[in-house]
Amino acid sequence: MWSTKKQTVVASSTTAAEWCALDQPAKDAKWLAKIAAQLGLPRYQDPITIFTDNINTQLLLAKKGCKNSTRWLEIRWFFVKNAVARGHIDVRRADTKRNPADGFTKALDPIAFKRFLEMLGMKAIK
Domain locations in the chain as residue ranges: 14-94, 96-126
pLDDT at 76: 73
Tens digits of residue pLDDT in 75-108 = 777 888 888 988 888 999 888 778 888 888 888 8
Total Cβ atoms within 10 A of residue 89:
25
Tens digits of residue pLDDT in 16-52 = 788 888 888 899 988 888 888 889 887 767 788 888 8
Q: Is the model's pLDDT at 4 over the cut of 70?
A: no
